[in-house]
Amino acid sequence: MVDWVRLQLNVDEFNDGDFGPYLHGARESGIEFTTFAEVGDSAGHRRALYDLNKTCSADIPERGEFYTYDEYVSRRIDVPSFRADGVMLAIRDGVWIGMSATSLHPAQGYAFSEMTGVLAPYRGQGLSLALKLLAIRFVRSSGYRRLVAFHHPRNVSAIAMNRRLGFVEEASGRPE
Ligand SMILES: CC(C)(COP(=O)(O)OP(=O)(O)OC[C@H]1O[C@@H](n2cnc3c(N)ncnc32)[C@H](O)[C@@H]1OP(=O)(O)O)[C@@H](O)C(=O)NCCC(=O)NCCS
């Protein structure tokens, strides 16, 4: 049994200004930011999201085999918690190079960070921080205060990324 690292962020305490320079810097370098809602929910865009998520997930420790495309659509997109405007995308020269997807759970009163991923050649430049800044703004504007994330204990980079943003260990797990 994996002892998941359960992190949460109080978005009221998050200081956007600390991370704005990462967003600004990425834009200056030619990276565009948009959402799945803005690009439009189409078969081609669902496939592009799947491909990006699958490629990035290959680096998650013990992730195992990724969903088939049909499984991904039925488990991650065609579900009530999916929000097209909660899927942040980073695009460079027309290529989707990064994502941060956040789902909303009104009954439980929290937003959940489903997946943040950056293609390997673009890592280490603050791109995940820029994407998460946009994700946190989405959470706040949706009326939620708590953003939750679960990580495999060996996913050092993802845990460090979220701690850098101010996430702290949750006292209890994701309530279902
Ligand atoms: C985790 C991931 C999204 C980070 O993306 P990134 O754009 O390279 O990260 P950033 O450059 O924005 O770095 C943000 C912070 O994360 C931490 N971090 C990033 N990469 C790290 C690494 N290899 N080792 C340790 N810490 C790391 C650092 O704290 C860093 O801030 P700092 O440089 O100011 O100290 C990326 O490594 C990835 O796509 N991994 C595979 C998918 C995954 O595991 N996703 C998370 C599960 S949902």
Kindly report the CATH number assigned to the domain that includes residue 110: 3.40.630.30
Inside any domain, residue 176: no
Q: What is the pLDDT of residues 104-140, one digit of tens each?
A: 999 999 999 999 999 999 999 999 999 999 999 999 9
| Mean pLDDT for the stretch of residues 19-32 | 98
Which residue out of 123, 154, 174 has the highest number of ligand 1 atoms within 8 Å of its CB and is therefore the one to mutate?
Answer: 123
Is the confidence at residue 175, as pLDDT, over 80? Answer: no
Evaluate whether 129 touches 18 at the Cβ level (below 8 Å): no
Q: How far is residue 80 CA from its own chain's centroid?
A: 17
Inside any domain, residue 10: yes
| Mean pLDDT for the stretch of residues 38-46 | 98
Could you tell me the distance, in angstroms and rounded to a whole number, from the CA of residue 129 to the centre of ligand 1? 8
Is the confidence at residue 167, as pLDDT, over 80? Answer: yes
Domain count, the chain: 1
Q: What is the pLDDT of residues 76-98, one digit of tens each?
A: 999 999 999 999 999 999 999 99
| Mean pLDDT for the stretch of residues 29-40 | 98
Inside any domain, residue 112: yes
DSSP symbol at 110: E
Range 1-5 contact pairs with CB under 8 angstroms and sequence separation of 24 or more: 2/62, 2/152, 2/153, 3/153, 4/150, 4/151, 4/152, 4/153, 4/173, 5/150, 5/151, 5/152, 5/153, 5/155, 5/159, 5/169
Inside any domain, residue 174: no
Q: Sign of dihedral through CA atoms 51, 53, 56, 57? A: negative
> Ligand 1: residues whose CB is within 6 Å?
56, 59-60, 115-118, 123-129, 155-158, 160-161, 164
Give the pLDDT of residue 58: 94
Say which range, 12-26, 54-68, 105-119, has the weakest mean pLDDT: 54-68
* Token pair recorded at residue 138: 């989405």
Count, in order, helices (H) and strands (E) of the chain: 6, 7
Percent of the chain whose predicted confidence (pLDDT) is above 90: 91
Burial bucket for residue 156 (CB in 10 Å: 0-12, 13-18, 19+): exposed
Domain holding 41, by residue range, is: 5-169
- Under the banding of pLDDT at 50, 70 and 90, the label for residue 172 is low
**Atom of ligand 1 minimally distant from the CA of 155:** 44
| Mean pLDDT for the stretch of residues 13-35 | 98
Mean pLDDT taken over the chain: 95
